[in-house]
Structure 1
Amino acid sequence: MSELQLKEVREVVRKARASSAPGPSGTSYKVYKYCPKLLLRLWYILRVFWRRGRIPDQWRVAEGVWIPKEENSTQLDQFRIISLLCVEAKVFFSAVSKRLCTYLAENNYIDTSVQKGGISGMPGCLEHTGVVTQLIREARENKGNLSVLWLDLENAFGSIPHKLVQFTLTKHHVPSRCRDLIADYYSNFRMRVSSGEITSSWHKVEIGIITGCTISVTLFSLAMNMLTKSAEPECRGPRTNSGQRQPPIRAFMDDLTVMTESVPGCRWILKGLEELVEWARMRFKPAKSRSMVLRKGKVVDKFRFNIADTAIPSISEKPVKSLGKVFDCSLRDTTSIQSTCTELDGWLKSVDKSGLPGKFKAWVYQHGILPRILWPLLVYAVPISTVETLERRCSWKACVSLLAGGTPADEELMGPLQLAVQQPQRRLFTLVSQEAIVATIHHLGNPKAKRPKDVAMFHEVTEQAMVLLDAGQEVPCELMANILKFQLLQVKASDQQRMATKKGSEEKSKAGPASATKHKASGNRANEDTPPAGVTMERQTKLRRRGEDIQTPKYI
């Protein structure tokens, strides 16, 4: 490999995030983004390290931070470590990683149909989920057979041996200069971890790759590709409707998915993977793994898979969430879509009740809510009607027209216009007048009065206006603007309630003929249970109505 070029270093710095946290050196990407002369000087230094094949000791230290893997994490194994490294080391190994990926891709050393993660320019997560979903859907529709295993490696990044990384690089004929650089980088790497105000002492990293390092993703993907390809000859994968044979093992970093048409074939692959992972001094986690067996298009639970004498739970017992998509025994997306709609409603209500100004609410929606809602729309088969409903919830707009009369003729014309707007067929029009605002203030402004349950937010502004009106003062312009905002929110709430009611009535009308047929089919049975009109039903309660004779008990 030739020496590092200046354009490679510039490309790495240009694509890096300026807001990335600095490492032990205290220097961030922003320094090299805005100082071209410093970037040129950094390139000179990186060329020397590349030529000598040695990594400085300042680059082989990291500050670790614990982050939770799941909600309500309390145990140590429920956290992972993210390392803060020197920016100069990240720039250097980003360029090395890009060269390594190019070398592996040109020589076809990584099968992208098997390993999706860690390969630049490959939409691996979406393609991995899409292929698995397509195979399950075809097996369900064609009433075919399919066996699926979702396997999870325990502490995958932290348990992969350094010898396995070196063996993988040698097996794939990586040039010696690159292998020597990586070996020297991991030879004396030290790390300390902080949690709150407590910081541990320095520890030498003797096993596992460094999370947060720019070359660690490529090294891990290469090692996992070698392990998965070694277990493939145990059995063939399923065939799609187009006749194309799919690989039996698919991997996205440490998430493995095994798919075969027969249960014995799936067991053979699981046994081969278990032996290879044990040889690599790693292990699977049965508690987080899942299994599913389809027979004639239906989920059956009579087949079990084991890892080290521990049974793998099936999706009938515990649904699995793989790469952001939930798979359950129904093999449908209805429950997940309903959960997504419920979560969106909760997020929107939380933002509305936060009390933030409008521009901050828009920022939270754009950068917080919208990215979270786009992924479920990609991986689930969401109906277009549901998408339109979500769009209406997120993008409700009001068209406001202000009418102000200056002459008596204008006042006369405004009267018929108000009457026309208030007609029943014009349900999308809402009239807001000064008299209506005053009536709303007197109705909701009294703090002792009982308010309805469906009152809109920010109704507190009416209390302030009520105090001013009781004192005989006029409502200022700023407070009147807030009251108008409250009125628009109330219009929005009523409009959304109207649309929900309309949707419910449409669903009932669609389900009407089916329910009528069902009622007709069960009519004879219902008539048998119903007594004749002249027969009085016997009362089972011991309570007495007012005026009835109370029988005094007789004692002997």
Structure 2
Amino acid sequence: MIWEAIQRAKAEKLNLDVVWLDLANAYGSVPHEMIQLALRMYHVPEKVILKAAEGSAGPANLGGGCSMPLLKAFMDDTTIICSKEDETMRMLTRLDVLMLWCRMEFKPKKFRSLSIRKGKVDKATTFTVADQRIQTVKSLGRCYDSCIKDARRGAETLDLASERLLAINKCGLQGIFKICCLQLMLILKLLWPLLAHDICSTTAEAIEAKINKYTRKWLGVPPGLSDVAMYRQKAKLKLSMKSILESLNAAKPDYSPC
């Protein structure tokens, strides 16, 4: 949802502020049993801190009658999304007060912000909670930078695949164990950026070609063996392998060529 909001602001030349915050020692600073006891004793609803902060500003306006909640949180990460700079400042101030109230604090080093003005990234806009310029930042696996495009992510994923395949190839394991490393670890690691970002399908096909090349080598089969023979699930000699393209299409049915 955050990426869609950024893309919409860019396409429709809107204003948008996105601020990523991270809590310091969110789980170790307070005994969990005490938190649960206090919540039950005072009948405090869930997400009380987020709900209290939301009252300082209205929802982010994304144009076309669309809006988005100001606060999104996952574990100890919190994201603020506002369409006005003054609302962003009020939200940050309110959150800062609430963090002091509950004896917690943010990690200033992990604080990042992205400001869009009339569809373009504005690097001059800064906020007082942690006066830091925009940098490439990851939020739940997605990378954000000043270009607001995913083209760079495709090249990075392809380079990652090449690097890790070469590392597996150089290790001293037997071929079958290299296949296990590929199927149980590397493919899963590569699937996440392919799913999280809008990466062209030709990049996934290039990764698949590299994987198939090494797979044939590790299995000791002829280079001309077709992909159908390796990944076919209904053949008499069925190999316990999955194609990264098949896994990608199963998880993201609308994945189509550029």
Classify the TM-score, shorter chain: 0.7 to 0.9
- Are residue 157 (structure 1) and residue 27 (structure 2) matched? yes
Cross-structure match for 1:335? 152
- Are residue 166 (structure 1) and residue 43 (structure 2) matched? no
2: distance between equivalents of 1:285 and 1:148?
Answer: 17
Question: Equivalent residue of 1:245, what SS?
Answer: strand
User: Residue 301 of structure 1: CA displacement?
Assistant: 2.1
Cross-structure match for 1:52? none
Question: Equivalent residue of 1:281, what SS?
Answer: coil
2: distance between equivalents of 1:260 and 1:171?
Answer: 31
Cross-structure match for 1:261? 83
**Cα 1:375/1:151, change in 2 over 3 Å:** same
2: distance between equivalents of 1:398 and 1:275?
Answer: 56
AA at the equivalent of 1:331: I
Contact 2:15/2:116, CA 8 A, preserved across alignment: yes
Find 2:109's aligned residue among 287, 295, 319: 287
**Cα 1:291/1:321, change in 2 over 3 Å:** same
Structure 1: give runs of 5+ residues left out of the alignment.
1-130, 175-221, 400-456, 459-484, 490-556
User: Residue 242 of structure 1: CA displacement?
Assistant: 5.7
Q: How many residue pairs align between the two structures? A: 223
2: distance between equivalents of 1:241 and 1:390?
Answer: 38
2: distance between equivalents of 1:343 and 1:246?
Answer: 34
Query: What are the residue-to-residue correspondences of 1:347-496 with 2, within 5 Å?
Result: 347-396=164-213
Cross-structure match for 1:135? 5
Question: Equivalent residue of 1:306, what SS?
Answer: coil
Question: Equivalent residue of 1:335, what SS?
Answer: helix
Fraction of identical pairs, as percent? 32
More RCO (CA 8 Å, sep 6+)? 2
* TM-score normalised by L of structure 1: 0.38
User: Residue 340 of structure 1: CA displacement?
Assistant: 1.3
Q: RMSD of the alignment, in Å?
A: 2.7
**Cα 1:398/1:169, change in 2 over 3 Å:** closer
2: distance between equivalents of 1:240 and 1:286?
Answer: 28
AA at the equivalent of 1:365: L
Cross-structure match for 1:250? 72
Contact 1:160/1:280, CA 8 A, preserved across alignment: no
User: Residue 253 of structure 1: CA displacement?
Assistant: 1.1
Superposed CA offset, 1:315-336 (max 9, x none): 2xx2111111111111111222
* TM-score normalised by L of structure 2: 0.78
Question: Equivalent residue of 2:21, what SS?
Answer: strand
2: distance between equivalents of 1:349 and 1:398?
Answer: 12
1: distance between equivalents of 2:119 and 2:30?
Answer: 38
**Cα 1:397/1:292, change in 2 over 3 Å:** closer
Question: Equivalent residue of 2:55, what SS?
Answer: helix
User: Residue 314 of structure 1: CA displacement?
Assistant: 2.7
Cross-structure match for 2:54? 232
2: distance between equivalents of 1:278 and 1:287?
Answer: 18
Query: What are the residue-to-residue correspondences of 1:170-319 with 2, within 5 Å?
Result: 170-172=41-43, 222=46, 225-240=47-62, 243-307=65-129, 310-311=130-131, 313-315=132-134, 318-319=135-136
2: distance between equivalents of 1:378 and 1:302?
Answer: 32
Find 2:14's aligned residue among 113, 122, 144: 144
**Cα 1:246/1:369, change in 2 over 3 Å:** same
Cross-structure match for 2:240? none
Structure 2: give runs of 5+ residues left out of the alignment.
225-258
